[in-house]
Amino acid sequence: MSEEQNERLQPQDEFEKDSDNQSIGGLNAEEEMMSRDLSEITEEVEKEKSADEIVEEIETEMASQSESGADEGEAVSLKRDVLEQWTLKQLNDEFRDLLDKYPVNQIKNALYQIKRVVDEKFNKLYREAREKYEEEHGSSLGFHFQLPEKTEFDALFREFKRRLSDYRKEYNRMLEENLKKKEAILQQLRDLVYGKIEGSPSKLYEKLNELRQEWNAIKSVPRNQYNHLWKTFKYWEEQFYEIIKFDKKYREKIYAENLEKKRKIIEKARKLLEFEDPIKAFSILQELHRDWKEKTGPVSADVREEVWQEFKTLTKQIHDRRKAYMAEMKKIYEENLVKKREIIEKIKAITEENATVREHARWQLLIKEVEALKEEFFNIGFVPRKLADSIRKDFYQAYREFNRNKNAFYKSLKQKQKENLEQKRKLIEEVKRLQEGEDLQAAIERCNQIKEEWRGIGFVPKSVSEKVWQEFREECKKFMDYYYGQTRSIQDEAYQNYLHKKNYLAELKAQFKEGKLDGITKEEVNEILKKWKSLGRVPDNVRFINNKFNRFITVLYRKLNLDENEIRLMDFKNRIKSYLDEGDYRGLNKERRIIREKIERLEREIAQAENNLLFFKSSDENNPLLMSLKEKIKRQQSKLDFFRQKLDLIDDLEETYDPEAEEDSEAEGEAGAENIRVEEGDSVEEGEKAQSVEPEAETSEGGGAGSESGEHIEEADKSEEDEAKEE
């Protein structure tokens, strides 16, 4: 499979990896090199090395650097945090510009860094697209994701890899050519020593210098040949001084010049002992060794070993100083390792303790906490190299586990938000349909309920939140405009009804005071009721007019010499009908609730009294206390039956209520009410009297109708002041 095909067929698992796993906190090339240097040295802190071993180590490092040409440095330095803020298109443009302006060997680190950022951004978009696809289709089967910017970048990266491959091939060819050139120089040096090149000693020395300059000009050679070539060159150089018969003074002059150069290198090495940064000092020492090998010649045999031992001694001292520094750094690395492990455990604890969290606000706090721990993790510093990979893997494992829980929550949250959105859309449709109903009061109540339900539904997807809210507000506004347009005329009409009822009641009261209603019959009272009902509904805030009318009707019932219980029941029925006529279901439900409470209280009292009967013997039938208790149970049972029948009456009236039919069935309603009785001598409780608002009737001799009428009219007029206040 070709390289191009291999890059195109990316395995799916690659997209599951955390993008941060591809780099350690975005270190640049210099920081990564320093990390590698420190870590490798840390592993060897405990090992003691001789001066010769140290020199051999330096020479090995110099050999490894021998393959690096002068143009191998990075021409561009890019900061990761800046790259992360760019779009994919901007990253592509930067990649293309660098590829066009610089040789690939000078920008390869920068281009690889751009690739890491592009891959992270693409992987993120890939995951988001796949999650959305799975939400819509239930699985990832058939999912395909392609991004034009990523396709363009892949083409650019393949071009970079092609150029880099070509460069490496050319560079390897150049290394082989350099090797041949140096081997040719060695051959000339041998010829010089063996006398195959003739000339005076001074001419031969000039030829040696020329060969040395040519040798130093050739920089890069294969690393496995570097030390062999250098040692061979030094061997034949020394042989040249030994074999060629120089003038003694001239030879001494050459040896003195070389010795001076070596002494300067030694002094520079000595100053490195006081250098502030031991790592940097050792790096400079390597350059001094390179100068010693390449820029100095042999010295007199009597001082040759002395100066070399002096330089080796300084080399070991500088190395040991770096070693001591690294021993201290190792402690710091171990401390950093402990700190990083503590952070990993904190993230694991956060993940475990909050696995069942289902609140968005709480997850936002957790995300900030974990991100702060992540930043702290990467700011701690280096750890021992042999543990760097494992500690990084442990961190990302804990970090990914937290992200899995977070993503699972937000995935479920998205589903819940979709359900909430569906519910809110249904409420919007219901508000639209409210204008189609005929019962405006029920519609306005339902509208208020819908607003409460809307508040309780919860969040919807952010992308449509504002849109659906504005749509809901607009539909509610349309309905309210429609409602007020319809009810304004109804309210005006209802207030006119109130004025008519007020005048009609005042007219009835005047007739009563003048005695015109003294011989009134039940049929005439029913006609008054029908006329009152025909006057229509009144506004809620003046419904007291109906209560005043009901009290006046009660006075008229008493003038008919009806049974007091029958009067109470007729008054009760009129009040219930009034609730129904006005649509006052709140008042109706309050009436029903009061009666139910009384029924429950009576049932408890009867049960308690019947329990008390068990304390009497069967022979105590004539016991006054026992007789009183039985009489009490009988009265309470009678009251209980009475209130149960009243409750049934409310239910029957509500179930069969028909405003038009009611006008033709007053007589039937009165006949039905007459079937509800309490036994003679019983009376309803004071609370029931207060609820029914029934005035006491004076029946003593001498009081007469006039006395009765005066008191009842006063009772009927007692809310006149309240009425004036309401108006």
Question: Using CB atoms within 10 A of its CB, is residue 675 exposed (0-12), middle (13-18) or buried (19+)?
Answer: exposed
**DSSP H helix total and E strand total for the chain:** 26, 0
Closest CA to 551 of 498, 609, 512: 512
Task: Supply the pLDDT for residue 690.
Answer: 32
Quick: pLDDT tens for 536-570: 878 777 878 888 888 888 888 777 777 777 777 77
Choice between 10 and 123, residue whose per-residue pLDDT is larger: 123
Mean pLDDT across the stretch 609-627?
77
Task: Supply the pLDDT for residue 372.
Answer: 94
Task: Supply the pLDDT for residue 698.
Answer: 32
Q: In a 3-state reduction of DSSP, which class is residue 17? A: coil
* Confidence category of residue 36, pLDDT binned at 50, 70, 90: very low
Q: What are the backbone dihedrals phi and psi of residue 98, each rounded to the nearest 5 degrees, phi first?
A: -65, -40
Mean pLDDT across the stretch 490-517?
81
Residue 700: pLDDT over 70: no
Task: Supply the pLDDT for residue 685.
Answer: 37
CA distances from 134 to 19, 139, 143, 408 (A): 21, 5, 8, 13
Q: How many CB atoms lie within 10 A of CB 351?
A: 20
* Confidence category of residue 490, pLDDT binned at 50, 70, 90: low
Q: In a 3-state reduction of DSSP, which class is residue 545? A: helix
Choice between 726 and 644, residue whose per-residue pLDDT is larger: 644
* Confidence category of residue 161, pLDDT binned at 50, 70, 90: very high
Residue 141: pLDDT over 50: yes
Residue 162: pLDDT over 90: yes
Domain ranges of the chain: 3-47+59-196, 584-689
Closest CA to 51 of 288, 324, 312: 312
Q: Which residues contact 410 (CB under 8 A, 6 or more apart)?
A: 363
The mean pLDDT value of the chain amounts to 76
Give kind and range of the element (H or E) at residue 255: helix 248-271
Residue 491: pLDDT over 50: yes
Question: Using CB atoms within 10 A of its CB, is residue 576 exposed (0-12), middle (13-18) or buried (19+)?
Answer: buried
Residues in the chain: 727
Task: Supply the pLDDT for residue 131.
Answer: 81
Quick: pLDDT tens for 521-537: 878 888 888 888 788 87
Quick: pLDDT tens for 90-110: 999 999 999 998 888 888 889
Contact 620, 630 (CB under 8 A): no
Mean pLDDT across the stretch 282-307?
86
Closest CA to 430 of 445, 446, 416: 446
118/319 Cα distance (integer angstroms): 42
Which amino acid type is present at position 24? I
Q: What spatial distance separates the first Cα and last Cα of the chain, rounded to whole Å?
A: 96
Closest CA to 280 of 506, 11, 22, 38: 38
425/471 Cα distance (integer angstroms): 9
489/304 Cα distance (integer angstroms): 122
- E runs forming strands in 112-188: none
Question: Using CB atoms within 10 A of its CB, is residue 674 exposed (0-12), middle (13-18) or buried (19+)?
Answer: middle
CA distances from 254 to 186, 218, 261, 272 (A): 21, 24, 11, 28
Token output for 219 = 């920089």
* Confidence category of residue 337, pLDDT binned at 50, 70, 90: very high
**In the 3-class helix/strand/coil scheme, how is 597-638 assigned residue by residue?**
HHHHHHHHHHHHHHHHHCCCCCCCCCCHHHHHHHHHHHHHHH
CA distances from 580 to 26, 517, 553, 669 (A): 78, 28, 18, 15
Q: How many CB atoms lie within 10 A of CB 533?
A: 18
* Confidence category of residue 680, pLDDT binned at 50, 70, 90: very low
Quick: pLDDT tens for 372-399: 999 999 999 888 888 888 998 899 899 9
Identify the top-confidence range among 15-19, 486-490, 603-607, 638-642.
Answer: 603-607
Task: Supply the pLDDT for residue 28.
Answer: 41
